[in-house]
Every structure is written in C-alpha cells, then in structure tokens.
Amino acid sequence: MKNDLGKTIHIVPLGHERERAVVPFHDRTADLVYLVVNEGSPDSNSEVDSMQLEQEYYTQMVVNDLKKLHIDVKIVTTDTFNFAPLINTFSKLILMEKKNNSNIFINMSSSGRFASVAASIAGMAHDVSVYYVHSKKFSKTDKEFKEHGVCICPHDSSWVEELSNYRFELPTETEVCILELLYAKSLTSYRWATTKELCDLLHEKYPDDYDELPVFRDMDTKDFPKEKIERLRKLQSKLLTKLNGSLMRKLIAKNYVIRNDPTETSVRYTITSSGEYALHLSDFGEELDIEEYVKPASLKSP
C-alpha cells in the first residue's frame, strides 16, 4: 500500500545493464535508489578482475544517469552469487525502509538471473512492488554494450511492468528463533539440535511462556519427593508435546526442518535449504552495516 507521506525508494540489483536500471525514472521520480552490486572476490584472477571492472563501469554509468535526474543513489555491496545472503541483503534493505514508512519498489530485471530470482522472492515476501523492465533487443556490438548495457530498452516507462505479488508466509517470531538455532548448528560438525537444546532456547527467549522448564534430567532427583518428580515429568511431557507436536510439526510441514531418527534420549532436528531461505527472508542476523556496505555515490567518469 502506498504511503503518501513516505519517501519513494527503489532497490535495483545491478549487473552489466544500464537502460534497464534507468528507464523507469524517465517519467517518474524517486528520492533514493539503492544499487545492489557484487562486492568482488578477494581470490581474484584475470577473468574475475575483468568482470568486476565491467561491473564498476556500468555501476558508475547508472549512478551518473540517476544523479543527472536529481535522484540520490547509494551503492550496496554484497555477494550476488550466494543466494541466501543475497536474499538477506534485499530483505534487510526492505525492512529498514519499511521502518521509515517508505514506498518501496524493487527492479528484478537489471541484473543476472540469480539476483533477479532473489530480488523477486524478497520483494514479494515483504509485499513491496516488484517490476520488470522489458527490452526491445539485445546489444550486439561493443559500442552498443558500452552505451546501453546487455539490453536496449525504449525510453518509455510503458515498457515497465509491475508484477502481481505471490504471497509468501514468513516464519513467525518463535519459528525464526528455532530456525536461527538450527542454522547455527548446521555450520558446526553436528549439524542438528536436540529437543533439549530447543527447550532450553525457548525458555531463555520466552521465559513467560516457558517459565517452568523441566530440566530435572540434569538434576540429582534422588531426594526429590515423588510428587515433585511426577509434576516435573508432566511439565516435561507437556512442553515436549508443544514443541514436537505443534511448533516442529508446522516447520516440518513447510519443509523448513527435517526430523531425524530419534536416539535413545532425544529427537534431533536439522534445517533444510528452504528453512535457510525462509530464515534469511526474515529479520535475521545483525542489522545491515550502513558504514561498511552502503556507500553514497557521486558523479564521475566511468
């Protein structure tokens, strides 16, 4: 929904394109454009260096074009060839601007296929306007590539098509909490989490909901009255039923989590690739480091 009081923000992942990034602004305006570009590889070689130099050329061309239209531009660097972090970058930009009550648009056609898919998913998941810029033909000569980018587009915004959003169901706050733990575990040699670890996490994050966490398995219960042990057993059973029968069952149904064969003492859970994508679409991890990854752009020769 458009907010008449908010700024107009465009998020534009940029590959070796010029016109597909600039055409939408020929008869409409924006307060700010985020150009999302590849950060470059530390393990560079001649081919990578050449591609990066081309990217920097097109980035500066687009910056110059937008600056001449009196549009503010900021460059966001990320790994555009790593799907989950790329989705996370788009999501963080969207969520950051939503907090500012901005009107947000995302161009899914001005970069390679990989970034196009990530931009589309992130935009639709967060219910912002996703658009596609149609081209008239592809560049064939070096001169055309330098002047237009990969695609040659009519300078007419009627060639800009706003896509209908497919509504994604993002994880709930509690589900994000669980997925965060499972994702962290996936980066270790174990790659899974037990029900006990998940119970401890829920008690730590939501003490009001899990205020009587049954941890008596780790206690010396020989001096406990029989009534107390029985009460703790019932609490444990109730919590495990809520965890395994409700929370985890929903995550499994969404294909975010896999339940592994139970051991003698506990059930183990592992995050799936879909779970990773869902997590990175959510408000996951630290806020985008504006100082490090978002830089203001200025006019200069490409």
Render pLDDT for 110-134 as a digit per residue (tens, 0 to 9).
998 899 999 999 999 999 999 999 9
Write the CB contacts of 131 (distance below 8 Å, at least 6 apart in sequence): 24, 105, 106, 107, 108, 109, 160, 161, 162, 163
Query: Is the residue at 3 inside a domain?
Result: no
Query: Is the residue at 302 inside a domain?
Result: no
Query: Is the residue at 245 inside a domain?
Result: yes
140/31 same-domain check: yes
DSSP 247: I
The pLDDT of residue 210 is: 63
Query: Is the residue at 94 inside a domain?
Result: yes
pLDDT tier, 66 (very low <50, low <70, confident <90, very high otherwise)? very high
38/163 same-domain check: yes
* Cα 250 from Cα 171, distance rounded (Å): 10
* Residue 63: closest CA among 289, 302, 290, 294: 302
Render pLDDT for 136-160 as a digit per residue (tens, 0 to 9).
999 999 999 999 999 999 888 788 9
Residues 6-34: what's their mean pLDDT? 94
201/127 same-domain check: no
| Phi, psi for 53 (deg, rounded to 5) | -65, -40
Query: Is the residue at 64 inside a domain?
Result: yes
pLDDT tier, 5 (very low <50, low <70, confident <90, very high otherwise)? low
pTM for this structure? 0.83
pLDDT tier, 89 (very low <50, low <70, confident <90, very high otherwise)? very high
Query: Is the residue at 301 inside a domain?
Result: no
Q: How many domains does the chain have?
A: 2
153/226 same-domain check: no
* Residue 129: closest CA among 11, 288, 279, 6: 11
* Cα 55 from Cα 70, distance rounded (Å): 23
225/192 same-domain check: yes
Query: Is the residue at 1 inside a domain?
Result: no
115/147 same-domain check: yes
184/73 same-domain check: no
Query: Is the residue at 268 inside a domain?
Result: yes
Render pLDDT for 189-212 as a digit per residue (tens, 0 to 9).
878 898 888 888 887 887 776 655
263/132 same-domain check: no
Please state, rounded to an integer, the average pLDDT across all residues of the chain. Answer: 85
Domain that holds residue 85: 8-167+286-296
In terms of DSSP bridges, do strands 268-271 and 193-194 run parallel, antiparallel, or are they unpaired? antiparallel
163/186 same-domain check: no
Render pLDDT for 179-194 as a digit per residue (tens, 0 to 9).
999 999 998 887 889 8
111/41 same-domain check: yes
Q: The domain that contains 251 carries what CATH number?
A: 1.10.10.10
Alpha helices in the chain (DSSP H): 19-22, 46-68, 83-99, 113-125, 142-148, 173-186, 195-205, 226-242, 248-253, 273-281, 290-293
25/127 same-domain check: yes
User: Is the pLDDT higher at 200 or at 221?
Assistant: 200
The pLDDT of residue 295 is: 73
145/45 same-domain check: yes
Q: The domain that contains 291 carries what CATH number?
A: 3.40.50.10770
